[in-house]
Structure 1
């Protein structure tokens, strides 16, 4: 026997089901569409995560020490790491040849002085004879010319003697400043030419970081840019600095641009030869003409009307801001229309709408 469900109960069940369905639709309708986005602060501290290059601590002034004259190296008194003082002997070459040159110059000067004395006596005698009408004026003039020539020859011989004596003193190579020997370039027994390096001296004083800038970063680095320096021997410490030198020409072999980074603060623990990492300020930095650097992924819109999404941290919404693209540099764009410190969306820009509620990936624990 079939049991019939009363119509009143069926009506109540239908009413409950339709109410539940309406509630679900209302909840689905009112639930906001919150999208996670990646955000960066342009021109601010959050935008300083640029490329990181490896470098070495070097002295501001490094001098290759060399002899002024050539000769056989008979002694080297320093090694790598030797601390030297100004005027301290570094090396010596065989002084025999220089001593012989000095002796020969002394002899030449003595000979020139003897000829000068003879020319002076001949001139004086000609003047006396001319007074007695025994010689002509032409003879006196000849003796005067010979005396002048002998006098100049004596001066030349004296200069040659001084030069030879100086060269005899050049057989000992001395340090021209306080510092540390960082490289040895010649060994005893080797014949070195004048100007050939024997040792390299790193002068005491200013320390810098020597590094090489790759070609793809050359356009983003300029003298005066602020950097952060991390010395590997001093973990957990970052030192402020700036780019002090940048070569205009690339190294022929490595195809990189040699650069120097100076410290903006005194660091007593930094020693020569320590390894360092230099973090360059690139993405999101402000250029000299006020343009803002942003990733290409932050741009959307038509070719002639580019925009970026500006994130409002207070309301958690985004707003489209028209910008002018001034230039493209590698994987970034230099734009006008935003201010340093603005928060700009850099990922998922094509999935957003005006005033949409969004959530920063950093807030969700995924990192910015």
Structure 2
């Protein structure tokens, strides 16, 4: 009887062990069923026909931007335009107090009139002396003296006339006119302000072909040349690219930023292009052919330590990712040139740091790498 009761706990223990093993097996099956599937963005790698170019940000500007200011100083009493105003050549922009300039013009007119009267007097004296010389009433020296006075009065009149013209011009300079068609992009002075001659009142962007102004860093200065083809993307026009070329580049770096000012011209008409728009310029090299075995990828596709970079290659049949070692050849602002990836392989370009070897994924988008 004692042995019979002793067998009961052993059977219970065995049943408990079997039950526990069954539960553990079920948990493993549930874990397999609940394996995490991560969404990723991918691209199809392809041998590129162009070397990757750096991308620089710039601003759409007019080809000619002129600060407009008065030729004389004075108190600004009126400004007729604001930022964004479209103006025509000859349109009034602003005026300064014309009182002082008008007084100078009046004084100059009086000086010119006085000089004309002086000339008329000495001319009569000179003509009279020549008549008296013929009658031998005066000497030749007297005639020569009258002639010198006449010549001096003639030159004095020329000087007075020039001063009168200058004063009248300065009186006209009290009104600032637009010297070309365009748009006002900046206002630098307000009514009531006393300005010196040449002080900018507004900045006029002249009508013409717009350009993109950008700053080229020192490490790219030698690689950017006049006439280089570029691709331009406007933040206000997402998904579109426009062709252009480098039209200007400074020979000297800015002393503060240590960058080189450059201009890029559009090679095609861009509808609704506005001054001040932000643009991204890709400094591509269309004539440079990429060596065989080199692939251009986004920087976001790389992961791993320095010298041991990898990318995730997607197995399209199983929808699982596998790490693929690559060798980094060149890095630009937005892209990387690598070897070790074959054309046609599907590479993960976003979410790489959240993946693990063999993990199942779902694709958000697949695009063909154009290399542009």
Deviations 1:127-174 (A, max 9, x none): 122122111001001101110110111111111111111111110000
* Residue 225 of structure 1: how far off its partner (Å): 0.7
User: What is the aligned partner in structure 1 of residue 119 from structure 2?
Assistant: 116
Q: Structure 2 unaligned segments of length 5 or more: list them.
A: 1-44, 296-328, 332-336, 350-368
User: What is the aligned partner in structure 2 of residue 194 from structure 1?
Assistant: 197
Counterpart-to-counterpart distance in 2, 1:254 and 1:175: 33
Deviations 1:214-259 (A, max 9, x none): 1111111111111110111111110001111111111111111111
> Does 1:272 find its partner at 2:275?
yes
User: What is the aligned partner in structure 1 of residue 66 from structure 2?
Assistant: 63
What does residue range 122-271 of structure 1 map to in structure 2 within 5 Å?
122-271=125-274
Deviations 1:164-187 (A, max 9, x none): 111111100000111110001111
> Does 1:347 find its partner at 2:339?
yes
TM-score by length of 2: 0.67
User: What is the aligned partner in structure 2 of residue 16 from structure 1?
Assistant: none
- In the superposition, relative to structure 1, how do residues 331 and 347 fare at CA in structure 2: closer, same or farther (>3 Å)? closer
> Does 1:85 find its partner at 2:88?
yes
Which structure is richer in relative contact order (CA contacts within 8 A, separation 6 or more)?
2
> Does 1:363 find its partner at 2:345?
yes
Q: Structure 1 unaligned segments of length 5 or more: list them.
A: 1-37, 299-329, 333-344, 349-358
Check the 8 A contact 1:286/1:293 in 2, yes or no.
Answer: no
Tell me the matched-pair count.
268
- In the superposition, relative to structure 1, how do residues 241 and 48 fare at CA in structure 2: closer, same or farther (>3 Å)? farther
Check the 8 A contact 1:207/1:263 in 2, yes or no.
Answer: yes
* Residue 365 of structure 1: how far off its partner (Å): 3.9
* Residue 276 of structure 1: how far off its partner (Å): 0.8
Q: CA RMSD in A?
A: 2.5
- In the superposition, relative to structure 1, how do residues 189 and 39 fare at CA in structure 2: closer, same or farther (>3 Å)? same
Counterpart-to-counterpart distance in 1, 2:188 and 2:346: 59
Check the 8 A contact 2:51/2:290 in 1, yes or no.
Answer: no
User: What is the aligned partner in structure 2 of residue 53 from structure 1?
Assistant: 56
Counterpart-to-counterpart distance in 1, 2:174 and 2:291: 61
TM-score by length of 1: 0.68
